[in-house]
Each structure stands twice: as structure tokens, then as C-alpha cells.
Amino acid sequence: MTESEKEQVYSHEATEMWQKYRQMFLGILPKLSGPSIKAYKEMPLSDAVGAALTERADNVNASSFAKLMYVLCIFLDGKEINDLLTTLLSKFDNIDALNTCAQELGIGVGFAQDYSFFDHCAEHVRDINLIRNIACMTKPTGDVKKSMFRDALDILGIPADIDDAALEQMIDEAIKPGKGVKHDFRNFIINNVIESSRFIYVIKFCNPKTVSQIAKNKVISQFVLKQIPPAQITRYFMTCIKDASDTCSVGKQIQELSDLMARLDFGVFRNVSQCANFERKRLGQAVFREKQLEKERFKAIVRLYLTVIYLVVKNLVNINARYVMAFHCLERDAKLYEVSLVTTVNNQKHTDYLALADTLCREGESSRSGYLARNRRMRQCVAQDIQNARALPVWKYRNAVAHLNVIRQCGEWISDISGIRSYYALYQYLVQRHVAEGVEPNRHDFAERFPYYAALYQYHSYVKDFVKALNAPFGYNIPRFKNLTIEELFDRNIHIETYV
């Protein structure tokens, strides 16, 4: 098809589309006036969404489900929202298509009472499509609250010479409204930290007072920077480092960038100047240009700093999700195997997450788990891991996974790690430090009673046998157990790529 023929087709389609949707656009245009938009901004987003969903939903179940999905999306970023809603749309659409085909063939298809929710798949598809259109919409950052500004400064790092009282006073002065007062520092923090999607993501999962240790740990930051393409590292190096030379090797560039982040605190940006174009004449071209270059350098430093933290947190969250699913499968499979995970000790009920693997392992060659029945050596290994796990607080491990405690507290232990070769290794070290927390390492019988903890503190890296013991509850399914406990099999250490 020639360009002329393509243009004719596009012109014809445009005419058809305009005729079809002309009245709709004409009805929308009056609502895009200045006063109307101002009224929308003043309306709470949740009220607007609730009104839209109530108007669109035909029945209570569909509307409630859609609202639930919207609330869930508040805690997700754009990619996660898209993945969740696209998957739901696909599933509901397939079920609806099956129902439609069955009706066309005259076959009666219905769902049991417990699953009657799926009788309304067409409504769910419509409502989720609406959610997908509005889920990523957020109100623009309004007045920056004191807590938000404090979190931003905590993530950047607090200078050693500023105590809490001085910091509180400085924040009050920075965010205090007033005409004729220069707010260069405040505006820089708002534009480059608080409104950054990476800051927003990190703050959801981590303690801002300690998460800065991720970027300030040279072992961690250099590992992350090595995952970024060399061309991007060079661009960051030339922008962030004063008097940088483009003859430096990539390894040297990574080392200098990690040194820069290790020394960083918000005091570096206190004197940033947000020069507007109208000040060019007053300052002079040379001074104006110098201030602009300095501001761009500061922006690049903040962007790289937040990127390093974001990549670590994002990968830890994704790895944690694998273990969340594993515990979900364990609880589901226990019901299928008719093995109770609930035990009673001293008239109190407890959850024994080792019960399923232990029961199936004891069944020997007649085990209902084909993996354990066919492989005597693996059965013995799992039995040993279960025995080792009896001395560990497996419940604490399960709760840490379920509630993302490891990610929230990662800054407290990450500075002690001796080295890192994968995000998996980092995650396992943090998990083991969390489980070992509360046991005094200076007690006289520490090494004898807690050999895993002793090795963890001695070598400052994760202990492989410790990983197997903690994950012994999944030993009833050998492939899953291996994938979760062997670093080389854990998705081949796949990690999140970035383009910064």
C-alpha cells in the first residue's frame, strides 16, 4: 500500500470515527472548562471513583469487587496495576466467552452457589475496564506535609551536625508559606524527591530513616550499578562528578559514583539555586549557566541515588512474593492432603508449618507425594531439614514473609553484609538476620545452641543450610523446595532491568 493509499484509508476511518463519536465529544467538551476542572480537583478522588463505579455497576457484587480492586491498586505502581487488571480482565473475559458459547449451543451452564460470583463476568469486565482507566490517576502533590518532607530528608541522609531539634526547625522554615521568600531548597526536594515515582514506591515498603543505608553501602551500590548498561553509567558519571574525565574505565566510574552516594546527605542540596530565565540578565550569562549546570548535576545525583534504592527494594519485594505464594500453596495443599497444620500446646493452638512435609516424609515409599516416594535420598535430606527446622522459629519466618518485615527493616542489617553476588543472596541474608534477631550472640552457649546464627554473624553472608531449614515446610514438593533454596535455580537470579 502506497503512502497516498494509506492516507485515504486513514482519512476515511477518521471521518467514520468522528461521525460515530461526535455527540459524545460535544457532550464532554463543556466539562473541560476551567471552572469544571477546578471543581474536579477539589473533589476527593475516592468520592469521584466511588460515584463512577456506583453509576456503572448493575449489581452490588460487581461494584464491591471493583471498588476492592481500586483500593488494592492504591498500593501498587503503574506496571503492577497493569499486570493485575490485565490478568483479571483476561480471566473474566474467558469465562464470559465460555458462558456465551454454551448459551449459543443451547447448553445450560451455571455455577454452584459458592461460585455464583462468576455468573456476572460480563459486569466484572466492564467495571475492571473502568478501574484500569482511572487506577493510575493521582491527585497532584498539594501542600507538602511536614512528615513527607521529613521522609524525603531521611532518605537522602541527615548531616551529622544536625540534631533533631535543629532539623525540625529547619523543616518548619522550609515549608512555611509566604510570598517573597525563596524556597529553592524546598522546591528542589518536592520536584526531585517527593514527586519521584521511585521515592513513592520505596516509602511504601521501607522505613525512611534506615533505607538510605542501601545506597550508602558501597558493596550494595556497586553491585546495583554493575547491572546498569555502561553507556548509562558513563552519562551519570559525566553529569554527577565534577571535572569528570571520559577516559576513566567503567569500573572506576562505578567506584566514584558509589563513593559519592556513600557521602551524600541532604546538606549537599541546601544551597541549590532554582534560577528562572528572567534572572539571566541580573546574574550574567556565565553565572546563570553555572547555576543551571549545578542544579542539573544535583538532579542527576538524586535520580541515581533513588534508582539504586528502588532497584534493591523492588527486587526484594519480587523475591519475597515467591515465598508468599509458596506459603499460600502450602496451606492449600495441606487441605488437599487432609493434613492439619494446627496443633495444640498447653491448651493453646499453634500453626505447625512443618506438619505437611513431616507427615508425607514419614510415609516413606508409600508417601502420597510422588516426589518423596520415588527418591529415598531426597526424602532423607528433607527429613534432616525438618529436624533442623524444629529448633528454629519457622512461624517468625512465615510472618516476616507475609508482612514484608524483611523489606521494611532491610536498612537495619544491610550495612553488615560482607558481599553480594545476587539479589537472592541479599534477600536470604536479610531473612536470616530477621529470624536471628532477639537472640543474644554474646551468650556462652550461642555457637552450640544456635550454629546457624553463629555462622551468620561470623561470615556476614547467608548460610545455605539455614535456608534449607527455614524452607523445610515446602519439602513435600521437591521441585518447589529446590527452586526456593538453591540460588542457581531461583529463576536463574533474574532481576529487574532498569532504564534510567
User: Rounded CA gap, 50 and 67, in Å?
Assistant: 7
**CB-based contact 155:193 (threshold 8 Å):** yes
Percent of the chain whose pLDDT exceeds 90: 37
What is the pLDDT averaged over residues 127-137? 81
**CB-based contact 279:288 (threshold 8 Å):** yes
| pTM score, whole prediction | 0.76
Lowest-pLDDT range of 65-69, 391-395, 421-425: 65-69
What is the pLDDT averaged over residues 423-431? 94
| Residue-level pLDDT at 167 | 87
The residues facing 343 across adjacent strands are 350
- Is the CA virtual torsion 343, 373, 331, 205 positive or negative? positive
325-371 confidence digits (pLDDT tens)? 999 999 999 999 999 998 887 778 889 999 999 999 999 888 898 88
In SS3 terms, the chain reads as: CCHHHHHHHHHHHHHHHHHHHHHHHHHHHHHHCHHHHHHHHHCCHHHHHHHHHHHHCCCHHHHHHHHHHHHHHCCCCHHHHHHHHHHHHHHHHHHHHHHHHHHHCCCCCCCCHHHHHHHHHHHHHHHHHHHHHHCCCCCCCCCCCHHHHHHHHHHHCCCCCCCHHHHHHHHHHHHCCCCCCCCHHHHHHHHHHHCCHHHHHHHHHCCCCCCCHHHHCHHHHHHHHHCCCHHHHHHHHHHHCCCCCCCCCHHHHHHHHHHHHHHCCHHHHCCCCCCCHHHHHHHCHHHHHHHHHHHHHHHHHHHHHHHHHHHHHHHHHHHHHHHHHHHHHHHHHHHHCCCCCEEEECCEEEECCCHHHHHHHHCHHHCCCHHHHHCHHHHHHHHHHHHHHCCCCHHHHHHHHHCCHHHHCHHHHHHHCCCCCCHHHHHHHHHHHHHHCCCCCCCCCHHHHCHHHHHHHHHCCCCHHHHHHHCHHHCCCHHHHHHHHCHHHCHHHCCCCCCC
Pairwise pLDDT comparison (298 vs 173), residue with the higher score: 298
152-202 confidence digits (pLDDT tens)? 999 999 988 888 888 888 888 877 776 656 778 888 898 899 989 899 899
| Residue-level pLDDT at 79 | 77
pLDDT at 497 over 50: no
Average pLDDT, the chain: 84
30-85 confidence digits (pLDDT tens)? 777 767 766 665 555 555 555 554 444 444 444 678 888 888 887 777 778 888 89
What is the pLDDT averaged over residues 114-125? 84
**CB-based contact 89:83 (threshold 8 Å):** no
At 138, the pLDDT band (50, 70, 90 cuts) reads: low
What is the pLDDT averaged over residues 92-105? 88
pLDDT at 137 over 80: no
Percent of the chain whose pLDDT exceeds 70: 86
| Residue-level pLDDT at 17 | 86
In the block, residue with C-alpha cell 532497584: 311
At 126, the pLDDT band (50, 70, 90 cuts) reads: confident
Neighbours of 12 (CB within 10 A): 10
Cα angle 452-457-461, degrees, rounded to a multiple of 5: 85
- Domain chopping of the chain, boundaries: 44-134, 146-312, 314-493
